[in-house]
Amino acid sequence: MTTAATTRSGAHRLSPRRRPRRLENGGFLNSGLLLLAPIVILEIAVFLLPLVYVLNRSFHDWQPGGVSVYVRFDNYSTLFAQAEFWEVVRNQLFFLLGLPIWVAAPLVLAYLLRENVSCAGLFRTIYFFPAVLSPAIVGLVFRSLLATDGPFNAALGTVGLGGLAQPWLTDATWVKPTVIVLMLWAGLGTGVLIFSAALAAVPDETFEAARIDGAGFWDELWHIAIPSVRATVVLWTMFQVMTIFLFMFSWIYVLTSGGPGLSSTTMDFSIYQKFVRFGFFGAAAAQSVVLVAMVIVVPIVIVVIPRAVRVVWRTVVQADRLDARVSP
């Protein structure tokens, strides 16, 4: 009898009906919040608090170690009145033109490597090799290779293409496209690995069915591969946007130092110059706040707005089809 009571008690304790109540009482929920607490605290300490501090400093004539006078929006008005600032903004937006290439190239290569290419792992390793190199080292190498009298232009002259030789890093017309191509080369391997992992999760039967129906390479890529890894495409696009706005400093610093003039200066490099080189601390803080605002707004423009337009377009098309069916 004791055994039966114990069994009933144990069965009652392990009953699925009791588990939601334990969750509602906060047992598992509190443990989950406890695990998340270090991450939340770290985010606040590393990102939020410094951002609030910089925002506060942007309203002052910031003098580290001295008296900082509250100047309201003077730093922002001075910044927006400078032609140099708007040139830097145009440079930053110009680098966004490389975004389609930075997304499409690794996706196509990953899809090619999926198509039973021999030694696909070797190719992925070769593509990924630049990602493990320091941007400072790569920048120094390419600054020597792409010099006006460097090996690259000399090689063009050797093969009879000397007319294509250009001052790649010292001409305002060529410097930004050159940086875009170099950053494509540097980040290509990471993108290939990410897209290869995403494509590996797509069932082979999907592609085989498309081939049976007569789909070609580009049909499979456009109608099957891309829709199947759409979430990864969005993720990689956002990563590239963050790279353009927040992680180009080392490349610009080593390759061009922002030159010639300001033709390759990015927001982060301009902030560095204002803060470290010229001592315009309040202006640098204001420009940092503007950069954070751009990092928030640009992804919304790139991802959210096209998605909203696509939803509206589908709604309009479906409404037109419905009207066509209803009309006599």
17 in any annotated domain: no
Secondary structure (DSSP) of 275-302: IIIS--HHHHHHHHHHHHHHHHHHHIII
State the residue range of the domain holding 40: 24-52
84 and 31 together in one domain: no
Number of domains in the chain: 2
Whether 181 and 35 map to the same domain: the answer is no
Same-domain check for residues 220 and 295: yes
Q: Tell me the pLDDT band of 28, cut-offs 50, 70 and 90.
A: very low
66: in domain: no
- What is the per-residue pLDDT across 164-204, written as a single tens digit (0 to 9) for each? 999 999 999 999 999 999 999 999 999 999 999 999 898 88
pLDDT in tens, 228-278: 999 999 899 989 999 999 899 999 999 999 999 999 999 999 999 999 999
What distances in angstroms separate CA 323 from CA 309, 311, 316, 317, one per listed residue?
Answer: 21, 18, 11, 10
156 and 30 in one domain? no
Domain-located, residue 11: no
Q: Are 33 and 102 members of one domain?
A: no
Q: Is the pLDDT of residue 327 over 70?
A: no
Q: How far apart are CA 170 and CA 234, in angstroms?
A: 34
Q: What angle do CA 248, 295, 169 make, to 5 degrees?
A: 25
Percent of the chain having pLDDT more than 90?
51
CB atoms under 10 Å from CB of 93, counted, come to 12
At 302, which amino acid appears?
Answer: I
Query: Which residues are within 8 A (CB) of 211 and not within 5 positions of it... i.e. 6 or more apart?
Result: 220
Q: Give the H/E segment covering residue 216.
A: none
Determine the Cα–Cα distance for residues 278 and 291; give it in Å rounded to an integer: 19
**In the chain, how long is the greatest CA-to-CA distance?**
99
Confidence of residue 320 (pLDDT cuts 50, 70, 90): low
Q: Do 205 and 308 belong together in one domain?
A: yes
CATH of the domain at 269: 1.10.3720.10
